[in-house]
Structure 1
Amino acid sequence: MTSLHDRGALADMPLEAELLVACDTELGEGVQWHPRHRRVFWTDIKASVLWSCDEHGGRVRRLDLEAPLCSFAFCDDGRMLAAFADGLAWVDPLTGRRRLFEPYQPDRPGTRMNDGALDRQGRFVVGGIDEADRQPVTPVWSVDRGRVREILHNVVIANSTAFSPDGTVMYFADTPEGVIRAYAYNPATGTPSQRRDFAVLAPDEGKPDGSTVDAQGALWNARFGGGSVARYLPDGTPDLVVRVPAPNVTCCALGGRTMRRLFITTARIEMTEDALAAAPHAGGLFVVDVPVRGLVPGTYRR
């Protein structure tokens, strides 16, 4: 497998992300590229808004929703399978209308849904967060043809959900631990096992948030509080850093016509007035062109 280090000095210095859309999201998240629409979509969880634009930041659209949207996957029929704060729903991405079909922990009002991603077979794997007490009380679900199954347990903040190109490795982080894990993943059953540490973040690097995997099998991870996105080779070796002019980096996705544009969401949440003055574009959508292709996003199987 070829590393970016084989491409010369570019890999030895950080890349710099630039502002694409000044959307000032309180908690930008869930960014992903839609190849058929040729648009990038992301959510502001706290504002209950779905944003989208073209790969150059044009034709920006803001869609107000009736509840906080945390993560989502597109379906072949044009709908979205969406993880809202209160549960899973089918959503029309043009109108925002939704139909809730699976509540998430209705007996725990302090928790909500959080990070999610499709596996290579089209299952939606999605977890939650205990916003109230930061306790390990939330499950991770696998949603397969409308059926929900719990595959991980006792999580504080589910993040970094991503899958290797061949679908046999699942990446996942319980954010407060500061560690990205790798699981052996059974593509036939959608079951993770044999957990191991993949990457451990130093305190000054922030905490692991959302991730994506490129065509070479490397993992790109957004670092909340670390102002960056880091690329790790399949063996966990740090390989490349993208600096972002906002401290709270939340999620990333590869897309665009060439699948070489890295779209990056950020958040204004937990920032003081002084911190916002120092990073005035925090909460924006950022972008950087990278020398490796992403994987064409799949759709949820129904």
Structure 2
Amino acid sequence: MTDTHSFTGRVLCETSCQLGEGPTYDPASDKAFWFDIIGQKLHELHLSTMTKAVHDLPFLGSVLAVIDAERQLIVSDQGLFIRHIADGRLTPFVKLEDKAVNRSNDGRVHPSGALWASTMGRSAEKHSGAIYHVAGERVTKLFANVTIPNSICFSPDGATGYFTDTNINHLMKVTLDPKTGLPTGEPEILSDGSGTPGGIDGSVCDADGLIWNARWGSNAVDVYKPDGTKVARHQVPASQASCTAFIGQKADRLLVTSAWADMDAAARLADPHAGQTFELGVAVKGRFEPKFAL
């Protein structure tokens, strides 16, 4: 039986995102970042002062990775861009694909410094998306015919990758070359979530190898062992939890984004925290995200 824990955290940001996604944290600046994909916004929160900034984007951004103290990498529906932190200037880097119907979705940097990034149909068109490996400017398609790619994260040693197609709801694992982040085997089902409510959405893997997964449609963050056993469920005050990230100078706190996308007025009234960003309120043994290696 999975242990279920009531919400003991707090609302970290009251701004309601239509599709809050792609959270990450930069320990050098003590800033958390996340996107409102549909709203074309990049949110920035300095944790020690709780100073907030919101940056308008000219595209649908969904993933941010640190390059160095001056630059970030952003994944968007228009391709990958280098963002210059000082002035927000965006420089085109590489494209994943040229399918106009698609936008970017989930992604994360592998310990090798390579990036896994994904695409999906803007209206979740069946099998329209894919998951890619980006090493410098070299782009390799890893998995095709994906409808809603999510849950991309990696074991601490970089030898295992995790992902899902939320439309199918199987949490998958695949063996990787730790030096490159490229698959060395075929994906296998780690956990079958297809028979239970909600969808497997964004995940992050902690220092012990536990996978912290935002469960879309279930007001929850679920925790899985590396063997696929679900060991805990932590409730959150928004039904559409979307993604997780370790935050704080010790990476010992968990940020959770959420969304109000696809809700009508009645649903939003019944879910007043939908789209807000939360701190889960439990101690975690997190890890800082690797930097993207140019």
Q: What TM-score does the superposition give when structure 1 sets the normalisation length?
A: 0.91
- Which residue of the other structure, out of 146, 158, 172, is the alignment partner of 2:149? 158
Aligned to 2:220: 228
- How far off its partner does 1:263 sit? 0.2
CA distance in 2, matches of 1:132, 1:266: 18
CA contact (8 A) 2:112 2:180 kept: no
* Equivalent runs, 1:153-232 vs 2, <5 Å: 153-192=144-183, 193-232=185-224
Alignment equivalent of 2:20, drawn from 28, 36, 44 = 28
Aligned match of 2:67: 75
Contact 2:104 2:119 in 1 (8 A): yes
Q: Does the 8 Å contact 2:108/2:115 carry over to 1?
A: yes
Q: Which residue of 2 aligns with 1:14?
A: 5
Give distance in 2, aligned partners of 1:207 and 1:256.
27
The amino acid across from 2:60 in the alignment is P
Q: Does residue 1:295 correspond to 2:283, yes or no?
A: no
Q: Distance in 1 between matches of 2:254 and 2:36?
A: 18
The 1:57/1:176 distance shift into structure 2, 3 A limit, reads farther
Instruction: Note the alpha carbon deviations across 1:31-70, whole angstroms, 9 max, x for none.
Output: 0111001111101111111101133681011111111111
Q: Residues 81, 87 of structure 1: CA spacing in aligned structure 2 closer, same or farther, 3 A cutoff?
A: same
Quick one: distance in 2 between partners of 1:141 and 1:12?
Answer: 35
Residue deviations 1:239-263 (CA, integer Å, cap 9, x gap): 1111111111110011212322110
- State the 4+ residue runs in structure 1 displaced beyond 3 angstroms: 202-205
Q: Which residues in structure 2 correspond to 1:16-95 (within 5 Å)?
A: 16=7, 17-55=9-47, 58-95=50-87
Deviation string 1:120-141 (CA, Å, 9 cap, x unpaired) is 1110110111124622132221
Q: CA deviation at 1:204?
A: 4.4
Tell me which residue corresponds to 1:8: none
* In structure 1, C-alpha distance between the alignment counterparts of 2:147 and 2:97, rounded to whole Å: 14
2:266 to 269, 274, 278: 274
Give secondary structure in 1 for the equivalent of 2:176: strand
How is 1:87-106 mapped onto 2 (pairs within 5 angstroms)?
Answer: 87-106=79-98
Contact 1:204/1:226 (8 A) holds in 2: no
In structure 2, the gaps of 5 or more residues are none
Could you say which structure has the higher helix fraction?
1
- C-alpha contact (below 8 Å) 2:60/2:104 kept by paired residues: no
Pick one of 101, 113, 133 that aligns with 1:110. Answer: 101
**Whole-angstrom CA distance in 1 between matches of 2:95 and 2:136:** 17
**Structure 1 residue 126 corresponds to structure 2 residue 142:** no
Structure 2 Cα separation of the partners of residues 201 and 83 of structure 1 = 28
- Structure 2 Cα separation of the partners of residues 200 and 225 of structure 1: 16
Amino acid at match of 1:98: L
Contact 1:74 1:80 in 2 (8 A): yes
Q: What amino acid maps onto 2:115 in structure 1?
A: F
Query: Could you say which residue in structure 2 is the equivalent of 1:286?
Result: 278
Name the SS of the counterpart of 2:268 in structure 1. Answer: helix
The structure-2 alpha-carbon separation of the partners of 1:285 and 1:134, relative to structure 1 and needing over 3 Å to count, comes to: same
The superposition leaves residues 259-300 of structure 1 with CA deviations (integer Å, 9 ceiling, x where unpaired) of 221100000101121111111121111012323310122101
1:137 aligns with 2:128: yes
| TM-score, normalization by structure 2 | 0.93
Counterpart Cα distance in 1 of 2:272 and 2:238: 8
Q: Distance in 2 between matches of 1:132 and 1:12?
A: 35
Q: SS state of the match for residue 175, structure 2?
A: strand
Letter paired with 1:27: L
| Range with greater deviation from structure 2 (11-20 or 228-237) | 11-20
Alignment partner of 1:264 is 2:256: yes
| RMSD of aligned Cα (Å) | 1.9
In structure 2, C-alpha distance between the alignment counterparts of 1:240 and 1:271, rounded to whole Å: 27
Cα deviation for residue 13 of structure 1 reads: 3.7
Shift of 1:109: 1.6
3-state secondary structure, aligned to 1:281: coil
Report the count of equivalent residues: 292
**Distance in 2 (alpha carbons) for counterparts of 1:47 and 1:68:** 8
CA contact (8 A) 1:104 1:112 kept: no
Note the residue ranges of structure 1 that are not aligned, 5 or more in a row.
6-10
